Amino acid sequence: MSKIRTRFAPSPTGYMHVGNLRTALYAYLIAKHEGGDFILRIEDTDQERYVEGAVDVIFKTLRDTGLIHDEGPDVGGAFGPYVQSERRDLYKQYALELVEKKEAYYCFCTKERLDMLRDNAEAQKKPFKYDKHCCALSVEEVEENLKKGLPYVIRQNNPTEGVTKFEDVIYGTISVDNEELEDMVLLKSDGLPTYNFANVVDDHLMEITHVVRGSEYLSSSPKYNRLYEAFGWNVPVYVHCPPIMKDAQHKLSKRTGDASFEDLLEKGYLKEAVMNYISLLGWNPGTTQEIFSLEELVEIFNYKNINKSPAIFDSEKLRWMNGEYLKMMPLEEFHTLALPYILKDIKEKPLNTMKIAEILHNRVEVLAEIEGQLDFFYALPEYSIELYTHKKMKTDSAVALSSLETILPVLENIPEDAWTLENLHEIVLNKVKELGLKNGQMLWPIRTALSGKQFTPGGAFEAADILGKTESLERIRIGMDLLKKELQ
């Protein structure tokens, strides 16, 4: 068997959609699983959609995710150039070859005539299909129009009878009645090829063996196959991937506000977790394992296990997976990643950020959710006295005041250099036991006094340890004053 060669061929439109990234990942895995080559090709023939800087986004995303291409615009290779606009002259040569073979023809129809055909199709509630008007032009008529300099496109000449079939690895045999095939434009009036035509020519010339793309291209594949057959070229293995849905009815789409890869990173997701999750959108390894490194995916990936059914993008599942990655991370690495988010809350306050990171390490699923959890470390917020009442903790304002009045002198007697998490834990719980209280009757009032919040990462001891003795005692006194005023 010849060496497997796959390609990722994005259009530079400004961002990396999750579906695009999955296509790149699957193409990479198919090639690398068999020791093949992964090629990057930039498809910029649609100049209206071109976004400045978008090619850099593509390069950066592939680099950051570890999908390193063997050939491409930035690294070169034996089959370049790897940017379609730089291959412009090539496509016309192949389009004219098809005209010679009567597999394509010049079309001189004006925009007005095409608009009329579309309006007629719409009025009859039929899909628009070009009526082959120019296919009937004689060689002399074509020559005359070309001499006049009339604008033209070159269209594929598809049959109107019979059936075209093709094999897809995932969806099996697909059959299409030829009368449904559109004579698609191959070469536009500006001399650039259409996406569909350039794909076929480039995939052949670059010796691509496996074409990975979304299932939305299934309907175009018969037209691609007819081009391969017209040229006498081998048809590649087609791997059409199921759509990624946000729910049962709606496809995931950046246009409707769904997250791109860059958006997910900005929200605090790890690229490794995102790639792991994307790998499972439409494919499964046949085992219960869900956490995979890229190297493990290369080892076990079998594209024949890709599903036909749509994949639902489950944000909660992605959050869980991201949390698992964070937990597996060494504390020092987690601290580095979490620090920008921690500093947004504690600002310039000189606190031990490593201790804060340690509290967060096993509690955070997405880094961006850190912001807003730690602001009490910077300043005690104004809070409702009702926070001291907690049914499950068996505490109310009276119990809370009694507990704080009891524990304050105990805490005051702890030397500054002995104010540690371990000592606080031991000393306070010994006092709770001595008093015959439930743990919550002491710890909930302390935590409330220290944070002024109903929910905090970590409990009373962690908060007191990080805030330090002086500020912890000051906050407990403030809490006691509030409780006294309410109970007077």
Strand order in the sheet with 185-187: 104-107, 153-156, 185-187
Residue pair 38/67 in contact (Cβ under 8 Å)? The answer is yes
Residue pair 441/401 in contact (Cβ under 8 Å)? The answer is no
Residue pair 419/468 in contact (Cβ under 8 Å)? The answer is yes
β-bridge pairing 244-245 and 311-312: parallel
Other C-beta atoms lying within 10 Å of the C-beta of residue 316 = 8
β-bridge pairing 163-168 and 172-177: antiparallel
What single string gives the DSSP state of each residue in 41-87?
A: -B----GGG--TTHHHHHHHHHHHHT---SBBTTTB-TT---BGGGG
**At residue 425, what is the residue type?**
H
Cα separation, 280 vs 482, in Å, equals: 53
Other C-beta atoms lying within 10 Å of the C-beta of residue 91 = 24
Cα separation, 272 vs 277, in Å, equals: 9
Q: How far apart are the first and last CA of the chain?
A: 88
Cα separation, 438 vs 435, in Å, equals: 9
Determine the Cα angle at 103 with ends 101 and 105, to 5°. Answer: 100
254 in a known ligand binding site: yes
Residue pair 327/337 in contact (Cβ under 8 Å)? The answer is no
Other C-beta atoms lying within 10 Å of the C-beta of residue 301 = 21
**At residue 354, what is the residue type?**
M
Catalytic residue among 129, 188, 246, 254: 254
β-bridge pairing 5-8 and 37-40: parallel
- Is 349 one of the annotated active-site residues of the chain? no
| Residue-level length of the chain | 488
What single string gives the DSSP state of each residue in 347-392?
A: TT----HHHHHHHHHTT-SSGGGGTTTSHHHHSPPP--GGGG-BTT
Which tokens is 297 given?
A: 């995916």
Q: Is residue 409 packed enough to be buried (19+ CB in 10 Å), middle (13-18) or exposed (0-12)? A: exposed
Which residue positions form the known binding site? 254
Q: Annotated binding site for ATP, which residues?
A: 254
Known catalytic residues? 254
